[in-house]
Structure 1
Amino acid sequence: MTSFIEVQNAEMVFTTRKGRFHALREINLQIERGEFITLIGHSGCGKSTLLNLIAGLLTPSSGVLLCDNREIAAPGPERAVVFQNHSLLPWLTCYENVHLGVERVFGASESKEQLKERTQAALALVGMSHAIAKRPHEISGGMKQRVGIARALAMEPKVLLMDEPFGALDALTRAHLQDELLKIVARTRSTVVMVTHDVDEAVLLSDRVVMMTNGPAATIGEILTVDLARPRLRVELAEDPAYVHYRKEVLDFLYTRHGHVEREAA
């Protein structure tokens, strides 16, 4: 039985002014439907490159990627991406930003009223119904990111791809949105692949943490299965021995087994 997403022997080599740069090598990864996967590693380890390959924004130099038994050759509405920068259009309201994506995906098959209901439901899902008529400059960074997530979810993607979506937010806002994301994923049962630098975020959210070796020619070093019951409450997990163990495993990988590059640079 095949997995929902499969990365088979993927390599990524970029041609630059200074020559060829081997970003990723021998990437093999299987993701099941409904799984929450985080990609973690030091800067330059190819996390975002791997996410962009799954999104279809990049084509691998060799190897193949599959989603639902179809080769990933280009971006598609079944794979929605949420970037660290919210990427909202500043001249449109929150409603219009979400509706734009909804209309693109469902405009040919649904009525205007159905499109409106779908847009409003997505904004309600992320708690942004109150800001439906506001433009991006009128709301906070955390709210902008909520709208970006709403736009992605409104398209009912099979896969939600997130590239450090909370990285630019303050700690309290980030924690709140992490908790909201856990609730949203529980309701939608989305398959999620998320890039993060945050060890606590990775353990809190994930079913599995994919740990990348240092670049260049980075690959998957280890995969940690996080066997913590859901729903997960961060306050309760803070002193949970299993949570502490998983957190230590990731830290050991990053700073003991694959921290030599940082020490040498220092």
Structure 2
Amino acid sequence: MTYLSIENVDKHFDRGGVRSEVLKDVSLDIAQGEVISIIGHSGCGKSTLLNLIAGLTEVSSGGIQLEGREVNGPGPERAVVFQNHSLLPWLTVYENVNLAVAKVFGRTKTGAERHDWIMHNLDLVQMSHAKDKRPTEISGGMKQRVGIARALAMQPKILLLDEPFGALDALTRAHLQDAVMDIQKRLGNTMIMITHDVDEAVLLSDRIVMMTNGPAARIGEILPVPLERPRNRIELAGDRTYLKCREAVLKFLYERHRFVEAA
């Protein structure tokens, strides 16, 4: 059985009697523990597709199943990390993570067990030292680490990342990419990430899903990334397979962009 199955999904929005077709006939099977990147030009429905998987938006037709069960609403087995960390500014780092832990494990873990679980997930992202700080007292990269810790603390089956590093400087982004690779290696999470960064997609992914331009966007190509793990960005800089994958994604995006300009 496929772990996550997206079958012939369409999504449209109706506003003021006008229908906007966002996604058309999108089908994709994802294996347990796989890392998938979704890439494409702005307006191609990447975030909409992620929201459909998260259950934050309903499909117009088709269906999404996780372990054979229909996805028809949000649930803790699908945790989302947005580009904006979405931390509550009046709560500490510890308290922000506790929000998720209390909601998911409030009836199944004791107070001591919940505390240990919060600290465990802060340790995973190297943020336990800042547990008593508030979001205004830490950097943007640290806020994203806390957002990832909060998502991981829900013990999700799938981690959904919506351009989680897009607002960060290049060095912070690189450190967080390495952290996410390390966490995924240790936990074996299934991850689906939206990105505009070609190098990020190739570095992190097992497969890259390339979307056509909207409206009515589809999956244009799916590119396997046959690079062994663990991956080292310095060693891969001149790797022929890495460069070939990077070239394939750039070619796809360039040709789609040229199509838009010609239209």
TM-score by length of 2: 0.98
- 2-structure distance, mates of 1:213, 1:238: 27
Residue 262 of structure 1: how far off its partner (Å): 4.4
Residue 77 of structure 1: how far off its partner (Å): 0.4
Aligned to 1:130: 129
Q: Note the 1:133-172 alignment, pairs <5 A.
A: 133-172=132-171
1:153-205 deviation line (CA, Å, top 9, x unaligned): 01110000000000000111001100110000000100000000000000000
* CA RMSD of superposed structures (Å): 0.9
- 2-structure distance, mates of 1:9, 1:100: 35
Identity of aligned residues (%): 60
1:259 alignment partner, SS class: helix
Aligned to 1:3: 2
- 2-structure distance, mates of 1:33, 1:7: 14
Structure 2: tracts of 5 or more residues without a match: none
1:38-91 deviation line (CA, Å, top 9, x unaligned): 000000000000000000001000000001110000000000000000000111
Residue 15 of structure 1: how far off its partner (Å): 1.0
- 1-structure distance, mates of 2:102, 2:243: 45
Q: Does 2:51 align with 1:47?
A: no
1:176 alignment partner, SS class: helix
Residue 18 of structure 1: how far off its partner (Å): 6.8
2:257 to 250, 256, 259: 259
Aligned to 2:188: 189
- 1-structure distance, mates of 2:239, 2:260: 30
- 2-structure distance, mates of 1:121, 1:145: 17
CA 1:19–1:203 in structure 2 vs 1: closer, same or farther (change >3 Å)?
A: same
1:108-134 deviation line (CA, Å, top 9, x unaligned): 011000000000000010000111000
**Aligned partner of 1:105: which letter?**
V
1:224-250 deviation line (CA, Å, top 9, x unaligned): 000000000000000001100000000
- 1-structure distance, mates of 2:230, 2:163: 22
- 2-structure distance, mates of 1:43, 1:261: 14
Aligned to 1:215: 214
TM-score by length of 1: 0.97
**Aligned partner of 1:19: which letter?**
V
Aligned to 2:60: 61
**Aligned partner of 2:143: which letter?**
K
Deviating above 6 A after TM superposition, structure 1's stretches of 4 or more consecutive aligned residues are none
- 2-structure distance, mates of 1:132, 1:61: 42
Structure 1: tracts of 5 or more residues without a match: none
